[in-house]
Amino acid sequence: MRGVVDPASISTEMIQMLAPDGSFVGDGDFEIDLKEEDLRQIYRHMVLARRADQEGTNLQRQGELGVYTPLLGQEAAQVGSAYALSERDWIFPSYRELAVAMYRGIDPSSVMHLFRGTVHGGDWDAREHRFAYYSVPIATQMLHAVGFARAAQIEKSNIVAITYFGDGATSEGDFHEACNYGGVWKVPVVFFCQNNQYAISVPLSKQTAAPTISAKALGYGMPGYRVDGNDVLAVYAVARETIRRAREGGGPSLIEAVTFRRGPHSTADDPTRYRTKEELAAWEAKDPIARFQTYCKNEGVLDDDFIKSCDDEGAQIATNIRASIVGAGPRPAIDLFNNVYEEMPETLRREYKQYEEEQSAREGDE
Ligand SMILES: Cc1ncc(C[n+]2csc(CCOP(=O)(O)OP(=O)(O)O)c2C)c(N)n1
């Protein structure tokens, strides 16, 4: 009808390249420019992330981490999107992006220390890896990404920012503010939603009345893409397109990667209380790594030796994480003073001095 935007007319189809059985279905609107070595590296990164992630859960269950937020099932969404970035682009994650962190060369132990509480905020070098610190307050990182991208735009630096968030985050005011500002100013940012179907125990159907998350893009004057988030090739293709668009001055995009969080929300959560075995089994059958492995084997890109070398590398990473985490003590409290300001203000300097004096008096007493 004239003058009406009808939610019923919004497409709920997903962009897909690989069917769940690993056969190539392609999508005429998107091209894949990946060489065989790229395909192997994408496979490798997904396998390594899954193994490191498993170690996070194991360590929490053994009492070595306070809490952990597993990414099991979301490997394709994370690796496919990260692979499409240039090295100079910046990443603004939430608290589940271990695969993206590892892809950017961050030692997964650094992420685990955050969950052990040995370090506050994270101890990787955000500038070196162009990977900002984890954001636990939902959707706040979206604003950081938009602010950063606006600065990149003013400086004409040709840098794109991508920000990761969940389906629940799209109900936050910060989501609206970030998308609105991004759309108005056409900033070079990609809003990457991992729609993993639940915000802790809240299912998508209770989260939003929108026909899709991607449809929300319309309200901000940007394109919205709905992609099979367990299909690493489709995620890569869509991310590449939106990153290119942002870099060329075309403004932001919203990607909805449709996936499933197969583990608990965090290790403090019991998902059996709000979802069924059947639902989980249906998503296990759409496993992103198995699907891509089948495709790559059929293409003659992956052989058993390479698959084994990835598994061995994953096992070594898990051993290294364990060695770094088990029994690790707290970092010196003085770090709290050192890592806040580039130049310490006078008030803090006084507290620093006081802390040092009290500390040496305490040591004198012992
Ligand atoms: C501002 C804010 N409100 C509430 C919370 C508590 N909380 C932690 S995770 C979460 C659900 C987030 O779900 P979603 O955005 O879908 O991301 P997912 O965890 O599924 O990746 C909530 C409500 C929080 N961390 N921050």
| Alpha carbon distance 225, 244 (integer Å) | 14
Residue-wise pLDDT tens digits, 51-85 = 999 999 999 999 999 999 999 999 999 999 999 99
The pLDDT tens digits of the residues spanning 259-276 come to: 999 999 999 999 999 999
For residues 174 and 238, the answer to whether their CB atoms sit within 8 Å is: no
Question: Which of 140, 142, 200, 260 best tests ligand 1's pocket when mutated (most atoms within 8 Å of CB)?
Answer: 200
> What is the C-alpha separation between 127 and 115, in angstroms, rounded?
21
Cα-to-centroid distance, 94 and ligand 1 (Å): 9
Residue 169 alpha carbon to ligand 1 centre in Å: 7
What pLDDT is stored for residue 305 in this prediction? 98
pLDDT (mean) for 20-35? 92
- Determine whether the shortest distance from the Cβ of 291 to ligand 1 is under 6 A: no
Q: Under a CB-based contact definition with an 8 Å cutoff, are residues 95 and 47 in contact?
A: no
Residue whose C-alpha is closest to residue 167's, from 191, 207, 195: 195
Per the document, the length of the chain is: 366
Residues 229 and 247: beta-carbon distance below 8 Å: no
Which residue is listed with tokens 């639902």?
279
**Percent of the chain at pLDDT above 90?**
90
Q: What is the whole-number distance in angstroms between the Cα of residue 214 and the centre of ligand 1?
A: 19
Find out whether the beta carbon of 265 lies less than 6 Å from any atom of ligand 1. Answer: yes
**167 CB within 6 A, ligand 1:** yes
Of 50, 113, 129, 261, catalytic:
261
Residue closest by Cα to atom 13 of ligand 1: 199
The answer, yes or no, to whether residue 335 has pLDDT greater than 90, is no
Q: Distance (Å, rounded) from C-alpha 36 to C-alpha 116?
A: 38
State pTM to two decimals: 0.96
138 lines ligand 1 (CB under 6 A): yes
Q: Which pLDDT belongs to residue 330?
A: 85
The b-or-e profile of 323-355 (16+ CB within 10 A means b, else e) is: ebbeebeeeeeeeebeeeeeeeeeeeeeeeeee
User: Binning pLDDT at 50, 70 and 90, where does residue 337 land?
Assistant: confident
CA distance 101 to 283: 24
Give residue 263's identity as a one-letter amino acid code.
G
DSSP secondary structure string for all residues of 142-158: HHHHHHHHHHHHHTT--
Check 113, 265, 291, 295 and give the catalytic one. 265
Does residue 342 register a pLDDT over 90?
no
Does ligand 1 come within 6 angstroms of the Cβ of 136? yes
Q: Which residue's CA is the nearest one to ligand 1's atom 7?
A: 138
Report d(CA 16, CA 21) in Å as an integer: 12
| 116 belongs to the catalytic site | no
In whole angstroms, give the CA distance from residue 140 to residue 133.
Answer: 12
Describe the crossing of helices 108-116 and 36-61 by its angle, rounded to 10 degrees: 20
Rama region for 29: left / alpha / beta (φ>0; ψ in -120 to 50; rest)? alpha
Query: pLDDT category, 31, cuts 50, 70, 90?
Result: confident
Asked whether residue 339 carries a pLDDT value surpassing 80, the answer given is no
Per the structure block, which two tokens stand in for 146?
A: 């938009």
Q: Binning pLDDT at 50, 70 and 90, where does residue 365 land?
A: confident
- Check residue 119 and give its pLDDT: 87
Q: Which two tokens stand for residue 364?
A: 């004198």
For residue range 34-54, what is the model confidence (pLDDT) as tens digits? 999 999 999 999 999 999 999
| Residue 295 known to be catalytic | no
- Residue ranges of the domains in the chain? 10-331, 332-366
Coil, strand or helix at 322? helix
Instruction: Let me know if 198 is a catalytic residue.
Output: no
Q: Is the CB of 193 under 6 A from ligand 1?
A: no
How far is the centre of ligand 1, averaged over its atoms, from the C-alpha of 98 (Å)? 17
β-pair partners for 253:
190
Q: Tell me which DSSP letter residue 190 carries.
A: E
Average pLDDT score over residue span 216-227: 98
Q: In angstroms, rounded to a whole number, what is the distance separating the alpha carbons of residues 97 and 78?
A: 7
Fold that domain 10-331 belongs to in CATH: Rossmann fold (3.40.50)
Q: Return the bridge partners of 189, or none.
A: 161
Report the separation in Å between the CA atom of 225 and the middle of ligand 1, taken as the mean of its atom positions.
Answer: 22
Mean pLDDT of the chain: 96
The answer, yes or no, to whether any atom of ligand 1 lies below 6 A from the CB of 56, is no
